[in-house]
């Protein structure tokens, strides 16, 4: 198991998908947040109205903006990487070689999931760090307790977003298609955004983490977040089970 985790970690770190995915999440969200802050600084009332009532040149405004971008763009980027980690084995034809290894396919899938979770946590922590630097450069002052709490929620939202991308890995496995997993990642973003607009609220697992982060924890309770955790656990278990029963029939 340890050997499988080391191999999967090396695969991810040396892959272009892993590097580009990390850059898209960290640098992409940072640039978008900086752009929105510059737009607010111009004082244009039309731009301010477009950015929404929660947009402001404060720590709260920064965390709200970052949470909204992470809930859509972050989820998509995490989904693409998850789909690649599992779907590439079929697209590149390496799945055949995995059957010759002494490590079972279920253990390999578990190793992939653990590496993906660790990568998602690392990227989320790095993103929160660069956002703190952005706030300091913008002149928000040293973060107080409330601002650090916002940073913590941003990290948690990143980890939740990575977890919600696991269905893309499951579908990439069951369909034996990288593009199938990517399609599911896009679908997850669409469903989450439509759910928020439709007022599904905290009981919608795909939207609950974002609503929790944006509302500073007031709009979503622990039970609702628990549903999201249960969904992630179910999809992770389903992916490992599917790999365990995998057969070479084509």
**Confidence band for 78, pLDDT divided at 50, 70 and 90:** very high
Single pTM value for the model? 0.89
More confident residue, 58 or 113: 113
Cβ contact 75:164 at 8 Å? yes
pLDDT at 51: 65
Position 163 confidence tier, pLDDT thresholds 50, 70, 90: very high
Question: What's residue 191's pLDDT?
Answer: 86
Q: Specify the higher pLDDT residue, 95 or 165.
A: 165
d(CA 206, CA 75): 10
Query: Roughly how many angstroms between the first and final C-alpha of the chain, as a whole number?
Result: 27
Query: 181-231, pLDDT tens digit by residue?
Result: 899 889 988 888 887 777 667 788 888 888 888 888 888 888 989 999 999
pLDDT in the model for residue 151:
94
Contacting residues for 232 by C-beta, under 8 A, at least 6 apart:
160, 163, 164, 166
pLDDT(5) > 90 = no
| pLDDT more than 90, % of the chain | 42
Residues 45, 241: Cα–Cα separation, whole Å: 53
Q: What angle do CA 4, 5, 6 make, to 5 degrees?
A: 90
Distances (CA, A) of 173 to 242, 243, 245: 7, 7, 11
CA separation for the pair 84, 61 (Å, rounded): 34
What is the C-alpha separation between 61 and 120, in angstroms, rounded? 24
- Predicted confidence at residue 58, as pLDDT, reads 87
Q: Nearest-CA neighbor of 200 among 216, 190, 211?
A: 211
Decide which of 177 and 121 is more confident. Answer: 121
Neighbours of 207 (CB within 10 A): 26
Give the residue-averaged pLDDT of 142-153.
Answer: 93
Contact 139, 29 (CB under 8 A): no
């Amino acid at each position: 198991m340890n050997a499988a985790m080391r191999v999967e970690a090396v695969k991810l770190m040396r892959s272009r998908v892993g590097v580009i995915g990390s850059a898209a999440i960290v640098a992409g969200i940072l640039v978008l947040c900086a752009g929105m802050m510059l737009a607010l600084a111009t004082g244009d009332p039309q731009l301010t109205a477009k950015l929404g009532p929660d947009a402001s040149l404060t720590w709260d405004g920064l965390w709200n903006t970052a949470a909204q971008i992470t809930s859509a763009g972050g989820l998509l980027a995490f989904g693409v990487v998850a789909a690649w980690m599992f779907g590439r084995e079929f697209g590149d034809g390496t799945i055949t070689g995995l059957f010759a290894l002494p490590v079972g396919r279920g253990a390999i899938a578990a190793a992939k999931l653990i590496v993906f979770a660790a990568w998602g946590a690392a990227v989320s922590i790095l993103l929160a760090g660069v956002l703190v630097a952005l706030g300091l450069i913008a002149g928000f002052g040293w973060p107080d307790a409330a601002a650090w709490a916002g940073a913590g929620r941003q990290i948690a939202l990143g980890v939740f977003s990575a977890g919600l991308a696991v269905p893309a890995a499951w579908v990439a496995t069951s369909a034996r298609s990288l593009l199938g997993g990517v399609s599911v990642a896009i679908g997850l973003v669409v469903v989450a955004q439509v759910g928020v607009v439709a007022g599904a609220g905290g009981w919608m697992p795909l939207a609950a983490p974002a609503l929790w982060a944006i509302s500073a924890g007031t709009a979503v309770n622990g039970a609702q977040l628990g549903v999201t955790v249960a969904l992630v656990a179910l999809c992770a278990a389903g992916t490992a089970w599917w790999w365990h029963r995998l057969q070479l029939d084509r």
